[in-house]
């Protein structure tokens, strides 16, 4: 079994990795069509010819205009990850695109209570102040420090840790896009780093996607209805479509971390996996992984303890689909923990042609 450490902490900067682009399936073009209805000219008759030509009974062709493809719309509420596409997540689901949005001119560290809506953001964002919402926007920085995240909820960092936001952050119906930056810059970076709620976003062009790391001890986290793809690697980067590196319950036993109905593809050749859960930064518990399509290289779902930390007894994987590529669907590395997944239920390899995309059962790792 090949296990890969995908995180470093260098100079106070949390470093993660990236995944290479895979081409998304494009909708088939809808050809323009025209229809013409005509009647044939009357046939000649044996009757004596008339001195004047009879008016033609032929109708003029009627030509329809171009047939427009149906407008994109958001995936229906509760759609599982295997129903998500580029067209029904992020901006495209609302008929928007990055280039058409007005430029955001506010600060890179917005104040508590800020709502950024319908903007093109060309700088990295630090949402440490909390109580911040980003919606129907495009976060596509044109400059970034190497290995820095595009969006983070972290505050100032010391030699081996960073401060954690104390209030909720929500990012929804948006694009988080690293395509304006070279692969070398973003190969060790996350699109999102910290703790928050991410819903219905389209995340691409980055090193790694959704990184719940430095999550603190009080806030819950949610990733729901997001499509992560087109990630990029460089050199020896280790890449995760999504990852969890700490989620302790010592100060709030009721907090939860949920990955629900996402599509996550990590296909760079330097892949740790689509969703890699590792106790690198602290203990991890109360994590539910449900209704996701996990694709790409490495293991699609990894659960690994180590670094003197453990995962807990309330880890659940329910009704997920796996591509089965790379090293396989899932693995568990206990390293001192005496338990595995508390619930492993209705998990299958992905088969697009089967009812509910259920291929062969994915055995309990």
In this prediction, residue 56 carries a pLDDT of 42
Residue 230 has pLDDT above 60, yes or no: yes
Task: Please check whether residue 33 is in contact with residue 67, taking contact to mean a CB–CB distance below 8 angstroms.
Answer: yes
Sign of the dihedral defined by the CA atoms of residues 102, 132, 154, 264, in that order: negative
- Give residue 289's pLDDT band: very low, low, confident or very high (50, 70, 90): very high
Contact 91, 173 (CB under 8 A): yes
3-state secondary structure of 251: coil
Would you state the structure tokens that stand for residue 270, as one six-digit string?
Answer: 């330097």
Helix (H, G, I), strand (E, B) or coil at 14: strand
Under DSSP, the state recorded for 354 is S
Question: What is the spatial distance between Cα 6 and Cα 233, in angstroms, rounded to a whole number?
Answer: 12
Question: Please, what is the Cα angle at 120 between 116 and 125, to 5 degrees?
Answer: 60
The answer to whether residues 320 and 289 touch, using CB atoms and an 8 Å cutoff, is yes
Q: How far is CA 345 from CA 12, 51, 118, 215, in A?
A: 39, 88, 39, 27
With bands split at pLDDT 50, 70 and 90, how would you rate the model's confidence at 222? very high
Q: Is the pLDDT of residue 317 over 80?
A: yes
Residue 47, burial from CB neighbour count under 10 angstroms (0-12, 13-18, 19+):
exposed
Of residues 208 and 60, which shows the higher confidence score?
A: 208
Residue 309 near residue 284 (C-beta atoms within 8 A): yes
Quick one: pLDDT at residue 159?
Answer: 82
| Pair type for strands 169-172 and 190-194 | unpaired
Calpha distance 313→316 (Å, rounded): 9
How far, rounded to the nearest angstrom, does the alpha carbon of residue 71 sit from its chain's CA centroid? 21
What global pTM score does this model have?
A: 0.83
- What whole-number percentage of the chain has pLDDT above 90? 77
Q: Is the distance from CB of 244 to CB of 16 less than 8 angstroms?
A: no
Collapsed DSSP state (helix, strand, coil) of residue 92 = helix
**In whole angstroms, what is the distance from residue 192 CA to residue 171 CA?**
10
Q: What is the DSSP letter of 309?
A: B
**Start-to-end CA span in the chain (Å):** 12
| Length, in residues, of the chain | 365
**Cα gap 252→241, rounded to integer Å:** 27
Predicted pLDDT of residue 342 = 97
Nearest to 265 by CA among 299, 243, 296: 296
* pLDDT 10s digits, 2-59: 444 444 443 344 554 433 333 333 232 223 233 333 333 333 333 333 333 444 444 4
The pLDDT tens digits for 179-210 are 999 999 999 999 999 999 999 999 999 999 99
**Cα 259 from Cα 74, distance rounded (Å):** 19
Q: CB atoms < 10 A from the CB of 273, how many?
A: 32
Cα→Cα distances 111→108, 114, 131, 134, Å: 10, 6, 8, 13
pLDDT at 286 over 80: yes
In terms of DSSP H, where are the helices of 149-265? 183-186
Helices marked H in the chain — which ranges?
A: 183-186
- Biggest distance spanned by C-alpha atoms of the chain: 108
């Amino acid at each position: 079994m090949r296990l890969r450490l995908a995180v470093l902490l260098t100079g106070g900067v949390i470093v993660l990795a990236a995944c290479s682009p895979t081409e998304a399936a494009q909708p088939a073009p809808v050809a323009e069509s025209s229809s013409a209805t005509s009647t044939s000219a009357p046939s000649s008759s044996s009757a004596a010819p008339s001195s004047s030509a009879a008016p033609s009974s032929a109708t003029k062709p009627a030509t329809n205009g171009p047939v427009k493809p149906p407008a994109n719309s958001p995936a229906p509420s509760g759609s599982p990850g295997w129903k998500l596409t580029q067209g029904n997540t992020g901006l495209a689901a609302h008929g928007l695109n990055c280039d058409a949005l007005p430029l955001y001119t506010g600060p890179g560290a917005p104040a508590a209570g800020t709502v950024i809506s319908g903007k093109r953001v060309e700088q990295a964002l630090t949402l440490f102040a909390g109580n911040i919402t980003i919606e129907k926007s495009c976060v596509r920085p044109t400059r970034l420090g190497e290995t820095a995240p595009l969006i983070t909820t972290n505050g100032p960092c010391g030699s081996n840790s960073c401060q954690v936001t104390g209030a909720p952050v929500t990012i929804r119906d948006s694009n988080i896009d690293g395509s304006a930056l070279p692969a070398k810059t973003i190969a060790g970076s996350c699109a999102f780093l910290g703790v928050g709620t991410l819903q219905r976003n389209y995340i691409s062009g980055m090193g790694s996607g959704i990184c719940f790391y430095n999550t603190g001890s009080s806030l819950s986290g949610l990733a729901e209805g997001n499509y992560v793809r087109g990630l990029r690697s460089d050199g020896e980067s280790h890449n995760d479509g999504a990852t969890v590196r700490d989620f302790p319950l010592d100060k709030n036993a009721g907090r939860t971390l949920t990955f629900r109905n996402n599509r996550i593809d990590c296909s760079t050749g330097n892949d740790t996996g689509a969703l890699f859960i590792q106790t690198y930064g602290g203990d991890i518990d109360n994590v539910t992984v449900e209704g996701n399509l996990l694709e790409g290289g490495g293991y699609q779902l990894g659960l690994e303890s180590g670094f003197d930390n453990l995962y807990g007894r309330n880890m659940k994987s329910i009704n997920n689909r796996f591509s089965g590529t790379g090293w396989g669907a899932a693995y568990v590395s206990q390293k001192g923990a005496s338990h595995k997944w508390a619930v492993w239920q209705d998990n299958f390899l992905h088969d697009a042609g089967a009812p509910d995309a259920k291929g062969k059962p994915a055995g309990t790792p």
